[in-house]
Chain A
Amino acid sequence: MNVAADIVGGIANGLREVWSNKVRSLLSMSGIILGVAALVAMVGVVQGMVGNLRASFEGRGGVLRLDINDQELPESQQHLAGLSPGRTLRDAEAISQNVFLASHVGAEVNLRWQRFEADGQVTFGVLLGVIPDNIVFDQRELMDGRFIADLDVDHSQPVIVIGSWLREQLFPNRGSVIGERIRIREGIYTIVGEFADLQTSVAGVPRGSGLNRWNYIPATTAIKRFRENDQVDRLTVMAASASVIPDVISQVENTLLLTHRGVRDFIVETQEESMAELQRLERSFTFSLGGIAAISLLVGGIGIMNVMLASVSERIREIGVRKAIGARSHDIFLQFLAEAVAISILGGLIGLFLSVGLLAGLREIIPDGGSISGMPVVPMLYGFLFSTLVGLVSGIYPALRAARLDPIDALRYE
């Protein structure tokens, strides 16, 4: 006996049965349809969003990035508190000179919101003091001019690299603005570069509007003109490769112990924690949303079981006839099982179509939804597999009931 042909034939017969009962079949499928559509769409969205987070994480240096943060002094060093100068530009310098396994060193002085003035126009934006490597960490692209250079930092030059917001507000309808001057507080700054407009955003945070208002001046200029002390707010190191991260950490620590005069008021943090956080986030999203979808699939399974039970009691006589002319219990079992599977396969396929539509809509609605795949193949495969499995499982009991019917009783049934 050819089992494969039996199964294919059974499903074909099942589809015919489904077709002859269109409305009822569609109703019984609705749970599966919604379940599959929800499963695929939700997992697709989560993957897209997490993909965004991962991309921005990778963009900012990924696992290679080390953050040097302030730390409470250990008990034994409490009395040395005043001794250390804290994180300064000298740290950045020392690291780039001594830590040869570091590929980039970034430092940032965050001057927050400032008032910018030019051509009689006024606007507000974020001002950051940086060093040349920051362009790598912040992943910015220049549209015109150049970024802050070593010489700018060395000589505390009054130069600025602006974002698209400033150019729109201060210099509307203008060509290149390189060489133009901007006033911030009492200082005048010459524009040396302009960033490309950022359309994208990260995980719902509209990145475009935010980051486009960021503007950069040399860190030394920022400290001299805006600060009382010479501390920086961020200190970042990029390791040359993943394998040397431990070496970079110890080299950075040794270097900073020198500049901080032996005071351990800093800590070198890797991205491991944020990486793990990202994975936890993805997992919990996938499981909770997948769980919701799984529940609707379960409900779909109950719907199929219900309809199959109704179908069995409606066709008791048919089952009797089939048995009388030679069907074995096992034939009847397969017949009804195939019908349940046919319903779920059809429902699953409709659900997949629906999910493609849903995803297309969600891509439009969700900020930065462009990274959501319109056809997430793996979730779709899973969705289809699960729905078929649900049909299979929910078909077993009704099929067993059909198979167990006694032909004589079934034939007598009116």
Chain B
Amino acid sequence: MSSAVFQLSDIRRSYYVGNEWVHAINGLDLTIPDGQFLAVIGSSGSGKSTLMHILGFMDTPTEGKMEFEGSDVTGIGRRSRAHLRANRIGFVFQSFNLLPRLSVMDNVLLPLFYGRSGMSRADRRAAGMAALERVDLQHRWQHTPNQLSGGERQRVAIARALINSPRLILADEPTGNLDSRNREKIMDLFVKLVGEGITLVVVTHDDAVAAYAHRRIRMQDGRIVEDDAA
């Protein structure tokens, strides 16, 4: 039994652009143990986002082997990937990406709809409330995103990532659009969630953010060039 959430072996993700190959990920091995807070750093274009997309089942590697929670997910189809996105993984974006026309509550509940949870209305409402409580925004559930500050929006996005009780949360530059006070608030929240057993991968080029993590990996040209754990 593997206690790793993810195990990637010799992953490649290449694009054919113009008439040459661009290797966004170029032979990458990575094991993410259960409960780890992993920071991915590296210069722009080094492949961090591509890695996150692969981990988030939004993209598939062109080559390599991929295990998720102990089972091989290398060639799984679009439906299975959508199912995993909806039920097993929470995604947090740099620009929050809340749907402006939905209330805070409806934004948080959206993954339940796509996860086909089969929960009753009342149960969903309760789950949404619980998720908002974890990010300390339960009193704002009726608001719309544009009535919230940037930091609050990102916390709503985190609540949305939490709604399906995922084991893994992926955050691509989650504090990139926030000031330092809000950045700290978000990072404290992440640390708390990790303390509650969640595995977290955060992409950042902010050393202060990376400092919160258990482990840091540095990427360059689609490969890991530095790893704390090694």
Contact = CB atoms under 8 A, between A and B. Distances in A.
A323 interface: yes
B85 A326 contact: yes
B2 interface: no
Nearest to B111: A325
Interface stretch (B86-94, B123-131, B192-200, B201-209): B86-94
B160 interface: yes
Given A407-B58, A411-B93, A326 B115 contact: yes
B147 to A, nearest CB: 16
Nearest to B160: A325
- Interface majority SS on A: helix, strand, loop or mixed? helix
Contacts of B59: 408
Contacts of B115: 326
B114 A331 contact: yes
A173 interface: no
Interface string B87-108: 1000101000111010000000
Contacts of A322: 99, 110, 114
Contacts of B53: 408
Interface stretch (B76-84, B174-182, B222-230): B76-84
A326 B87 contact: yes
Nearest to B79: A328
Contacts of B86: 325-327
B56 interface: yes
Interface residues of B, number: 23
A230 to B, nearest CB: 88
B82 A327 contact: yes
B91 A324 contact: yes
B116 interface: yes
A20 interface: yes
B99 A325 contact: no
A325 B91 contact: yes
A67 interface: no
Interface of A: 1, 16-17, 20, 317-318, 320-329, 331, 407-408, 411
13 contacts: A20-B101, A321-B97, A321-B98, A324-B56, A324-B91, A325-B85, A326-B82, A326-B86, A326-B111, A326-B114, A327-B86, A328-B79, A407-B58
Given A322-B99, A322-B114, A326-B86, 11 more contacts: A20-B101, A318-B99, A324-B91, A324-B93, A325-B85, A325-B160, A326-B111, A327-B86, A328-B114, A408-B59, A411-B93
